A and B are shown apart, each in its own frame.
Chain A
Amino acid sequence: MLFNTGQFALFFLLVYTLYLRLNHRAQNVMLLLVSWYFYACWNWRFLFLLLASTVIDYCIGLAMEHREGHQRRRLVTASIVVNLGILGCFKYFNFFVDSANAVLHGLGFHPHLPVLNVVLPVGISFYTFQAMAYTIDIYRRDAAPCRDFVTFALYVAYFPHLVAGPIQRTHDLLPQLAVPRRVTAAMLRSGALLILIGMVRKVAIADMLAGQVDAVFSDPGGQSSFQLLQGLLMFALQVYGDFAGYTDMARGISRMMGIELIENFRQPYLATDITDFWRRWHISLSRWLRDYLYIPLGGNRGPTWFVYRNLMLTMLLGGLWHGASWNFVIWGGIQGIALAVHRAVAGDRRKTVPSRSRPRQLLCWAGTMAVVGLSWVFFRAHTLEGAISYLGGILHWHGGLLQGFRREPLYALVLLLLVDLPQHRQSRPEAMHSWPTWIRGVVYALLVLAIITLRPNVNAPFIYFQF
C-alpha cells in the first residue's frame, strides 16, 4: 500500500476519521492494529518477524531497568545480536555467502555454499535500527524503558514511518505516543501542505523520471555520453524526489495526527560541501550512524588517522545498510573518502569561516554535486561492471553534445526549485504559508496539476522500500 495510491487515501481517511473520535488509549490501540495491517499488506508472514523483534526488545528493555553492570551489557548485546541477526539473515546472508563463494573460488576451492531463497522483508533496515536504538538508549540511561507494550509496539510499527523511516529515536517518538495528542488547525494545514509537497516530489518528479532512468541504466552501452550524464542527473533527482517525497508524506500524515516525525532532508542538493550534504541528506540515518557507530568507534577523538578510519568505517557500513551489494559498499566508501578529504582540506576552518564568497560557494557546490552525482552510479547500477561501464561511457566522450536531450529533467528541476527554494530561504518546510493567499492558491493548483499531468500510468514503488 503506497502513500500515493487511492487505496492508501481510503485507508487513511478511515483511520483518521476514527482517530479523531477516540481517546488516547484507544487511539494507540487502533494505530497499532492498523499499522500491523498496513505492514501485512505487503507480506503478512513478515508481520511475525516484526512482532518477534518488538517483543524481544520490549522484554529486554524492561529487564535492563533493575540490572547493573555486566547484566545490562549482556542484555543490550542480546538485543543487538537479535536485531542484527534478523538483518543478517534476511538481508545480508546471501551477500556474504556469495562473496565467500567468490573468494574461495578464487583460491581454487569450489565449495558451493548454499544460499537462502528468501524475499527481503520491506522496511527491515528501518525498524531493526529503531528497535536497537531503544535498547541502546536504555542501556546508556538516555531513556527509561517503556512499560506499556502497546505504546512500545506502536513506537516500532507506527505506519507513517514503518517501511522507510525517518528512523525515530526513543526520545523523539516514544514520549509523544505516551501522552494524549492535540491537533491544531495549524498542524492540519501544514500537514496537508507536506503531503502535497511529498506527492509532487514522488509522483511528479521521481515517478515521471523513473522510466527514463530505467531505460538509460538498463542499456548504458546504447547511450551517448550526454545521455549517460543526463541519466545520472535524472537519477539524482529521482532518488531525492522519491525518498524526500516519502518522508514529507510520512511527516504530513503524522502531523495531522498530532505526532511529529523528525526531519529527514534539508535541501541536500544545495549543500556546498560533502559534510554539509550529509547534514542534509537522510538526516535520521546520519544521526543514527553518528550516535551509535561513529562516536562509539571514537568519533573525532584520538589521532587524525583514527578519525579518518572512523569516518570510513561508518560510511562503509552506512553504504552496506542500503543494500547487500558491493556497489553500496563502494558508494559508502566514496562518501567516506570525500568526507575525510574535506575534513583534511577544510580542517578547523569548517568552524571558523562562516561564509564564503559567491563564486567560491558556487565552485564548492559544483564540486560537491560532482562527487555526489558520480557516486550515484554505484548506487543505481545493478552490478559493479555495469557501474564501471556507465562511468566509462561518460569519461570516453562519444556522441553529440546534446544527443538524446530530454526535457523531463528540466521540468523536474523547475518543480524541485519551486518547493525547495522557499524552504531553503526560510529554513522550514512550510515556508509557503507565509505567501499571500492568492499566490498560495495558484501554486497549490499548479502543484496538483503537475501531479495529475506528470504522473506515469503505473505507480513506481518507493526506492527506499527495498532497503
Chain B
Amino acid sequence: MPRSSIFSSETLAERIPIPHAGLVAVALLVLVEFGLARQDWLWNWDAKGEAAPLWRLQRDLIDPSPAPTVLLFGSSRAQIDLVPAVLAAELGVAQASVYNLAISAGTPFDAWVVYRESRAKLRQAMVAVIGIDNWHVNAGFGVNPRDRRYADLPTRWRLFDGGNRLSLLTGYFWRTCDAQQPLRQFATSLGRRLPASLPELPDGRRIPESSHIPGPTPHVELPSELQLLSVVQAHYVNYRASDFRFRQLEQFLALAKADGLRTVVVTMPPTRPYLDLVEQRRPGALAWFDRAVDGIRGADRVWRCRDNLAAGLALEAYYDGGHMNDVGAAAFSRSLAAVVLSELAARP
C-alpha cells in the first residue's frame, strides 16, 4: 500500500462466518411474508379494526340493501351527522336506498375504494355526497391500514406523496410491513376471532354507542377550550399543506361522474370555538383548506359549511367540537336534502 493512500482493508481483516441464526430468522420472516401477510382473511380478522370497515360495509350494507339512490361518504362527521332516514323522508325515497358509507377517519380514498369494489350496484345511485374535513381531509393522519390494503402499485405512486408514498412502496414489496396492524391484531387475539360489526340504528346510521347522543346537549356539557385544544392538536398533529387526499377526491369524483352520478362535496362544519382555536394555533391552515376546496375539479356542487353558524346550528346541536347529536344531525341532514334535491333537479 503506498504511504499516501487513505485506503486500507485492515479494519475488518477477519473472514465473516455465515450467521446461521440469522438465516433461520430470515427463513421464518419469509414464511410470515408469503404464508400469512398476503392472506386476505387476515385483514378482516378484527372486524372492528381500521382495515376492515370497507369490507364490513359491503357485507352488512351494500350487498343486502336494495338499489341505492343517494350515497353518503366521508369520515365520522358524515357517519354521525348525515341521517339516511331524514334524507330519505325529505327526498321521498326509501330509507334503505340511502346508503351512509362514511367511516371513522374515512378519506376520499376509502370512498373511491368502496365505489370501485361495488361499482355495479353503486352506479345505480343518482347522487354521491362526500363530506370532507378542514384538517386537510385527514392528510396529517398519514397512511392508514385501508390505504395499505387496497392501494395497488400505480395508486401508491400517483395518489400519495412524500414519506407516505415511500412507506406504501416499501409495504407493496414487503407485505409484512403493510399488514402491520392486522398481524398485531391476529397475534394479540391469540387466534380467537374478534367481535363483528357496529349495529344499525333505526335511522339507518351505523355508529358507535358512545356517538349516539340524543341532544340537545346542555351548555355545561359542551367541551371546554382545553378539551377542544387537545382535539385541534390531534387533528393537526403532523400538519403540512398537502393535497394528496384532494387528488384522491378528484379520482373518486371522476369515477362517479363517469357513471352519471351527480356529485356533491360538503365541507363538514365543526363548531365555531373549535375553528377559532384552529385559527389561533394553525394560522393559515384554514386559508389553505379554502384554496384547496376552490381548486376541486369534477364536483357538480361544493357546499361550503364553514362552521355551525353557517350550517344554521346552535352549539347545543353538537356533543363535541365537530360531531352533532341527533337533533343537530337531523337538522343538518334536512339542509343537505335541499342541496341534494337541487342537484337531482339539475340532472339531465
Contacts and interface: CB of A to CB of B under 8 A. Distances in A.
Interface in B8-33: 8-17, 19-29, 32
B85 to A, nearest CB: 33
A218 B230 CA distance: 8
A27 B238 CA distance: 38
A449 to B, nearest CB: 7
A22 B6 CA distance: 6
B9 A21 contact: yes
Interface in A417-467: 437-438, 440-442, 444-445, 448-449, 452-455, 457-458
Contacts of B280: none
A356 interface: no
A444 B12 CA distance: 25
A444 B230 CA distance: 39
Nearest to A222: B227
Contact of B11 (A180, A407, A441): A180
A52 interface: no
Contacts, number: 96
Contact of B7 (A23, A258, A448, A457): A23
Interface string B223-258: 000000010000001100000000000000000000
Interface stretch (B52-60, B93-101, B175-183): B175-183
A420 B13 CA distance: 33
A87 interface: no
B64 to A, nearest CB: 34
A143 interface: no
B7 A22 contact: yes
Contact of A453 (B9, B25, B180, B237): B180
- Scoring B28, B142, B166, B238 by chain A CB atoms within 10 A of each residue's CB, the highest score goes to B28
Contacts of A6: 166
A294 B286 CA distance: 55
A411 B188 contact: yes
A62 to B, nearest CB: 26
Contact of B25 (A180, A407, A441): A441
A183 B6 contact: no
B24 A182 contact: no
Which range contains the number of A residues in contact with the other chain?
35 or more
Contact of B20 (A437, A442, A452, A457): A437
Contacts of B188: 407, 411
B25 A445 contact: yes
Nearest to B237: A458
Interface in A1-40: 6, 19-27
B142 A452 contact: no
A218 to B, nearest CB: 6
A141 interface: no
Interface of A: 6, 19-27, 180-185, 188-189, 218-219, 258, 407, 411, 437-438, 440-442, 444-445, 448-449, 452-455, 457-458
* 5 closest cross-chain pairs (CB), A and B: A441-B24, A440-B21, A444-B25, A445-B28, A26-B6
Interface of B: 5-17, 19-29, 32, 142-143, 166, 176-177, 180-181, 183-184, 187-188, 230, 237-238
